[in-house]
Amino acid sequence: MEFDHILIRFGEISTKGRNRKKFVDRLKTNIKEVLNQFPALTYQATRDRLYIHLNNENHEEIVEKLKLVFGIQSFSLAMKCKSDLTDIKEIALKAVKSLYQPNDTFKVTVKRANKQFPHDTNELNYQIGSHILIHTDDLKVDVKNPTINVRVEVRTEATYITCYDYKGAGGLPVGSGGKAVLLLSGGIDSPVAGFLSLKRGVELEVVHFFSPPYTSERAKQKVIDLTKELTAYGGKIKLHIVPFTKIQEKIQEQVPENYTMTSTRRMMVKIADQLRQKQQALALITGESLGQVASQTLESMVAINDVTSTPILRPLITMDKTEIIDIAKKINTHDISIRPYEDCCTIFTPANPKTKPKVDKVSRFESFVDFDELVKEAVNNIETLTITLDQKGNFEALF
C-alpha cells in the first residue's frame, strides 16, 4: 500500500496559547532528530497539525519511532490518490481491508475542500460507504461510534484518505519545559524518573557517581546503556561521570556508620547542584519513592535536601515499586537495571542506616572535614559523554 504522508496531531500543546509556536517548533526539531536516518522526509507545520511527507521512505520504521516522541497525541498514515471517484472508492476500500476485524463497524467522513468536485459530500459519503459495505464481510455501518472512521479529504491536487490513528506518547515536547539534571544510579527507579520528566517536556542531563575500585566498569557501562534507552524519547543526552571514590572513602572514615548514607546522599546532591549551575539547568531529578528505603523517608529527605534550595523533582514519590517496575519494563530499562553490579548507592551500605536523621547532627559530623574542597575537586574532574540514539560503540569497525 502506498502511503503519502503522516499527519500528526498535538496533545496539550494546542492549549498552550501564545507559547504554541515555540512548542510546535520544538516538537518539529525533536521529530527531525529522531527521524534523522530518513533524509528524504520533508516536514510541514500548520497551526494545529504537523505533516511528514514520506517521499517513499519506509513508513513502518518511522511509525515505530514516532510512537515514542512526546508531544504527539495521535498520528495517522495517509494515502493519496487521484481526485476521481473510482480511485477514491478503491483506495478507501483497500485502506479498510488492511485493518478491519470481523464485526467491526465503520463510517465515512468526507471533507470536500475542492468545491468544484462533481460529487457533493453526501453523495461521496454514500458512494464510498456502499462500496466498502458491498466488498467486505462482517463489517457494518455505525455513524455514532464506529471502530474505523474512514476520513476522506478531497482536494484539487489529490485526495487523502486516513483511517487508523496511532496513539502518540502524549506529554509535552522534550525541551519545551527547561532543563534538569537527573541523578542516575543504575537501579530500576532513576531511569523511570528520567522518562517521566522527559514526558513533561524536561530536557535531561544525567549525572552518575562512579567509585572505582568499589564499583566496576560494568556499572559505568550499565549507566551508559540506560542513558541510551532514554535518548529514544528526546534525542541525545549528556552523561556526566563524577569521580566519587575519595568522598565516599572520607565519609566512611569520618562519619558514624548509621549516618554515612545520609552524608553520601548530601554530597551527591551538592555535586549535582554545582553541575546543574554550570550546565544552566533549573532543577535536580531523583528516582526517590516515599518510604522505599531509609534514605527515602520524609525525615531523610529533609536532611538531604538541606544542602540546596534548588527544586528536587521526584516523579516517583508516590509510586509503588511494582508500578515503577511496570514502567521500567515498558521503556526497556528494567533488564539493564537488574544487571548485578554494585553501584554508588549499594556499596558501603550500613547495616542500620538512620531512617530519621537529624540535620544538625549530620552537619556537625561533616564539619570536621573540608568536604567543600572535595566536592569542588570532584566537579572539576567530571568526565562528560554525549550519548546518542544511534551511538556507535568503540568496536564498530569490528562489525
Partner 1 sequence: MLYLDNSATTKPYKDVLSTYIKVTEEYFANPSSIHKLGSEAEVLLTQSRKQVANLLGVSDEEIIFTSGGTEGNNLAIKGAAFANRHKGNHIITTVIEHPSVLEACKQLESIHGYQVTYLEVDGNGRVAVEDVREALQKNTVLVSIMHVHNEIGTIQPIEEIGQVIKQNSNAIFHVDHVQGVTKVPLEFYKSEIDLCTISGHKFHGLNGTGALFVRKGVQLVPLFSGGAQELQLRSGTESLAGNVTLAKALRMSFEKGNQQIESLFQTHKKLRSELMKIEGVKINTPEDFYAPHIINFSVPALKSEVLIHFFGENNIFVSTTSACSSRSKKMSQALLSMNKSEDIAKSAIRVSLSLDHNENMIDPFVSTLKKGIEKLTKVMR
> Distance between terminal CA atoms of the chain?
34
Angle between helices 257-278 and 371-380 (to 10 degrees): 50
329 is a contact residue toward partner 1 (CB under 8 A): no
Piece in contact with partner 1 (CB under 8 A), picked from 12-20, 69-77, 186-194, 390-398: 390-398
If you search the block for the grid coordinates 557501562, which residue do you land on? 221
* Nearest residue (CB) to partner 1, 218 versus 330: 218
* Nearest residue (CB) to partner 1, 17 versus 393: 393
218 is a contact residue toward partner 1 (CB under 8 A): yes
Q: Residue 55 region, left (φ>0) first, then alpha (ψ -120 to 50), else beta?
A: left
391 is a contact residue toward partner 1 (CB under 8 A): no
102 is a contact residue toward partner 1 (CB under 8 A): no
398 is a contact residue toward partner 1 (CB under 8 A): yes
Among 74, 114, 221, 279, binds partner 1 (CB under 8 A): 221
- Do you know the residue count of the chain? 399
Minimum CB separation from partner 1 for residue 342, in Å?
A: 11
Is the distance from CB of 100 to CB of 148 less than 8 angstroms? yes
395 is a contact residue toward partner 1 (CB under 8 A): yes
Query: Which stretches within 188-297 are classed as H helix?
Result: 189-199, 217-234, 245-254, 257-278
For 4, the 3-state DSSP assignment is strand
CA distances from 159 to 15, 143, 296 (A): 30, 22, 58
* Nearest residue (CB) to partner 1, 43 versus 341: 341
Interactions with partner 1, residue window 279-318 (CB under 8 A): none
* Nearest residue (CB) to partner 1, 221 versus 363: 221
Piece in contact with partner 1 (CB under 8 A), picked from 57-65, 234-242, 268-276, 391-399: 391-399
Using CA atoms, how far apart are residues 150 and 296, in angstroms rounded to an integer? 51
* Nearest residue (CB) to partner 1, 50 versus 336: 336
Q: CA dihedral in degrees (91, 97, 103, 106; nearest 10)?
A: -20
388 is a contact residue toward partner 1 (CB under 8 A): no
Minimum CB separation from partner 1 for residue 382, in Å?
A: 21
Q: Which residues bind partner 1 (CB under 8 A)?
A: 216-218, 221, 393, 395, 398-399
